[in-house]
Amino acid sequence: MSLTLTTSNLTLIEGEPRVLDLVLAKSLGFIRTRKIRELIETNRQELETYGSLAPVQGKSRGQEFTEYSLNEGQAILICMFSKTKKAASVRKQVIEVFMAWRRKEPPAQLQSQQAKPVRHLTRAEKQRENQINWKKRQFAGLAIDLDDLGVDVLSIDMTIVIAFGRAMRLQGAR
């Protein structure tokens, strides 16, 4: 599930508007949003030519992490480096959102400009989407990387995989 960026996703840090790395990752459609931090580290030298990455150290579930708040130039570069299907549209969103910030447009006004009509999926479309999402995760048998999962339920081909942290349980057909 992706996120539509608005000016409410920006915060003022070091005198300029910035977007949090995980917000950008979600907009880009990353399955594992924390993978964006590896992309940032890989391209850190070029990203820092546009200014500080405004790193903040944190700790969650005993794991230390560094989150980054990206300025406009850095966010655009990450969109280009990500090579996701949504990269071009998110790049456009980044430009529009930062421009709206400079024009001081309220978030609701910007969001209404980007709003698209909601269409509910049919059962067949939902099943097809589940199959596509399953393929995107590229699971091989039951070799599942559960780093980013707390509790996740995947329903594919009438088998339910329930993941609790690093332990799994399979349930039969519904």
Q: What is the pLDDT of residue 120?
A: 59
22-36 residue pLDDT tens: 999 999 998 888 899
d(C-alpha 7, C-alpha 166), whole Å: 37
* pTM of the predicted protein model: 0.59
What is the rounded average pLDDT of the residues 26-52?
92
Among 3-7, 36-40, 142-146, the least confident range: 142-146
The candidate with the shortest Cα–Cα distance to 18, out of 127, 103, 101, 123, is 101
The residues pairing with 153 across neighbouring beta strands, listed in sequence order, are: 162
Number of H helices, E strands in the chain: 7, 8
Q: For residues 34 and 111, which has the higher predicted lDDT (pLDDT)? A: 34
For residue 31, what is the DSSP state? S
Q: What is the pLDDT of residue 6?
A: 86
Complete DSSP assignment for 77-98: HHHHHH--TTHHHHHHHHHHHH
Q: Tokens for 156, please give them.
A: 């594919």
Helices 72-82/35-42 angle, 10° precision: 110
Phi, psi of 166 (to 5 degrees): -115, 5
82-106 residue pLDDT tens: 988 999 999 999 999 999 988 887 6
- State the average pLDDT for the chain: 74
What's the chain's length in residues?
174
d(C-alpha 63, C-alpha 74), whole Å: 26
Q: What is the pLDDT of residue 8?
A: 87
